[in-house]
Structure 1
Amino acid sequence: MTEATIEMERFHLVYDGPALQEHQMDVRALAPALLSVGNLVEQANEIFNGDRAKVSVNVNASFKTGCFGIDLDTAQSLLSRTMDLVSSNPVTSVATLCTLLGLSARDGVKGVIAVVRWIRGRAITRIEPIENGIVKLYINDESLEVEERVLQLVQDYKIRKSLEGMIEEPLSHEGIESVSVMPRKGATPVVHIEGDEAAYFHAPAPEDEVLDSQEYETNLQVTNVAFQESNKWRFTEGGGGNTFYAEVRDIPFLERVQLNQENFAKDDIIRARVRREQKMTVNGLKAEYVILDVLEHRSASPKVQLGMRFPDNDV
């Protein structure tokens, strides 16, 4: 079995401000910030490497004096280096991950932190592919060239949420005025963020991605009726089948319900035209249902066979 290969990358994280003059930082600000740094690097590794490599971020020894600085060691374990060397999709090293994120500076790469800072919470109006994995971002007349890999990280909600926890949330605490990242204590900062820039790192609300949309006719059993506007009805397909909530958009049908022209008893059945959408959300895969048209409404009470026989009519 191939031995694991360990690669390391270190950076120095510094928070500064009047509240930190005694080289102390409130654990309620520090702990979430450190967890966010760990989540940031782990998510970037997951995006580019999947389960081919694992990363961990550890506090190195004791906290350093001066403002409030922390040495962080980022370790990446690659279980099969031999396979990676011949792969057409090699593992992205931890050094490259830190560069793409903006935690280290190499070869003039604009990392995620720099790009988010440039965006300043504004909407990107156009993305133009250039060449060699570079794209140009436009916000009206302004533009910025970045690597496609950096853009991929900028668009990831978990990355943006981790940046929020590392930068915006600590700077929201009274007396913490800036955060800097540098390769080692005393070095020139790779990035320095002042408190008035903190809001730029607030994670935008994630967009749901529609994966599939289908319309079909089916019979549904009504288990709960909502009479208030925008409330969703509850349906089941019966016999241990799927149970779901759905918005009813058949306006004439809803008007008849409001006028008591449609009366429902428990477990009544409707035949309806349904739209079902599968979406990828921040919480995973989700299905949403809409009742587009109610085609038939019938009582759930089964009818008995009367066994009636009619005499033949003689001609």
Structure 2
Amino acid sequence: MASLVPLPRGTQPAPRLQTMEMNNHQPFYVIYDGPALEEHRMDVRDLAPALIAIADLLSAANNEINGKAASLRVYVNASFKAGSFGIDLVATQHLLSQIKDIFSGHGASAVCNGYTLMTMVGFVGGGGLIGLLRRLKGRRPMQIQQHGKVATVHVSETETIEIDSRVVKLYRSDIVRSSLEKVFSPLEREGITDFGVLMHERVVLEVHDDELGALSAVTTDTAAEIVSDCTSHKMLQIESMTFKDGNTWRVHDGVTTFHASINDRAFLKKIDAGERFGKGDVLLVDLRQVQSIDRGRLNNESTIVKVLEHRQPLQPGSPDEARAAADDEHEDSGIALSVA
């Protein structure tokens, strides 16, 4: 064993390369919902691949953004909560950095923590990769320009999206995209209609089964075939409202119920200003309906382009008239579409 010899006064020891490992934990809660899960039971053949996909997704996202500076694993907590079918998960990130970098601040700023990674994926915040895919709706970008930390995605000659450059890395990663698709694969089963993420008992993401086409692992070299794209006047009855994730509302047109995103900024400003809306209220709108084929799958999407009028719930007798009017409109415009 080497003896410890005191250094002469005024001499500094030679610097030693030291590393230290730090962990951060990000708990979250995922839910699969639908009529098939009313008894809070789920086929393990559906659940197991989805849980593995969540782990693969976050691990691949971590590798794309952090490289070798951090590793990430997802663990299942022992507690199961009442609900349709939910699982407590924890994303644990192991940060391996040189001590000198940590104290200088470089290590802390360079590594994205678990919460930020989930934001980049789109599990939190309504944006990220999931938000980008929802905006693209199966379309291939014409061009992606990166300017430092910001990227501009050119969807068409007139439509652009500005996103964090790290989201582009995830968008271009086959592993990330295929893992994300597998996370939502249980929604392909009959009776499983919704997926959700909760943090601190608050819903931070909702995905519906009619969004699977937009969220599929389509390669960046392929694009969906547009079958029809039309805009028409519609009378819609509100069934439920959501003021996040693209303001996707559940509506009924007299024939069928579907989800529609709202792109009318003036209407959204009225909501922010306190105008009251409720279940059963009626909206007269310009509704854009897009039907496309993506890898053999038929996708339907609806977007409320303009809200022309807001009415109170229909009085007795009126629903039949509204239903008849909707039938006439459907003869011209086709099937009601769902939002991605």
Q: What percentage of residue pairs aligned between the two structures are identical? A: 37
Indicate the RMSD between aligned Cα atoms, in angstroms: 2.1
**Partner of 1:96: helix, strand, or coil?**
helix
Distance 1:110 1:192 in 2: 12
Residues 100 and 111 in structure 1, CA contact (< 8 A), matched pair in contact too? yes
Distance 1:36 1:83 in 2: 36
Q: Which residue of 2 aligns with 1:196?
A: 210
Moved over 3 A (4+): 86-89
What amino acid maps onto 1:171 in structure 2? L
Structure 1 residues 37-48: aligned runs within 5 Å: 37-48=54-65
Q: Which residue of 1 aligns with 2:179?
A: 162
Structure 1 residues 194-233: aligned runs within 5 Å: 194-205=208-219
Deviations 1:255-278 (A, max 9, x none): xxxxxxxxxxxxxxxxxxxxxxxx
Structure 1 residues 140-159: aligned runs within 5 Å: 140=156, 141-159=158-176
Q: Normalized against structure 1, the TM-score is what?
A: 0.59
Distance 1:27 1:50 in 2: 32
**Partner of 2:110: helix, strand, or coil?**
coil
What amino acid maps onto 1:200 in structure 2? A
Q: Which residue of 2 aligns with 1:300?
A: none
In the alignment, is residue 116 of structure 1 matched against residue 133 of structure 2? yes
Distance 1:182 1:136 in 2: 30
Deviations 1:268-297 (A, max 9, x none): xxxxxxxxxxxxxxxxxxxxxxxxxxxxxx
Q: Which residue of 2 aligns with 1:183?
A: 199
1:95 to 115, 120, 139: 115
Distance 1:205 1:136, change over 3 A: closer
**Partner of 2:79: helix, strand, or coil?**
coil
Residues 75 and 94 in structure 1, CA contact (< 8 A), matched pair in contact too? yes
Q: Which residue of 2 aligns with 1:296?
A: none
What amino acid maps onto 1:17 in structure 2? G
What amino acid maps onto 1:65 in structure 2? A
Distance 1:206 1:121, change over 3 A: closer
Q: How far off its partner does 1:134 sit?
A: 1.5
Gaps of 5+ in 1: 208-315
What amino acid maps onto 2:57 in structure 1? L
Q: Alignment length, in residue pairs? A: 200
What amino acid maps onto 2:53 in structure 1? S
Q: How far off its partner does 1:166 sit?
A: 0.3
Q: How far off its partner does 1:83 sit?
A: 4.5
Q: Which residue of 2 aligns with 1:135?
A: 151
Distance 2:148 2:169 in 1: 15
Deviations 1:128-149 (A, max 9, x none): 44x5522222222332211111
Q: Which residue of 2 aligns with 1:56?
A: 73
Distance 1:83 1:156, change over 3 A: farther
Distance 2:144 2:220 in 1: 19
Residues 178 and 193 in structure 1, CA contact (< 8 A), matched pair in contact too? yes
In the alignment, is residue 23 of structure 1 matched against residue 43 of structure 2? no
What amino acid maps onto 1:51 in structure 2? K
Q: How far off its partner does 1:206 sit?
A: 6.8
Residues 71 and 184 in structure 1, CA contact (< 8 A), matched pair in contact too? no
1:71 to 88, 92, 95: 88
Distance 2:159 2:110 in 1: 34
What amino acid maps onto 1:172 in structure 2? E
Deviations 1:24-74 (A, max 9, x none): 111111101000000011111111222221111011113211111111100
Larger radius of gyration: 1
**Partner of 2:75: helix, strand, or coil?**
strand
Q: Normalized against structure 2, the TM-score is what?
A: 0.55
In the alignment, is residue 35 of structure 1 matched against residue 49 of structure 2? no
Distance 1:83 1:19, change over 3 A: farther
What amino acid maps onto 1:158 in structure 2? I
Distance 2:71 2:183 in 1: 21
Distance 1:65 1:83 in 2: 47
Distance 1:78 1:72 in 2: 19
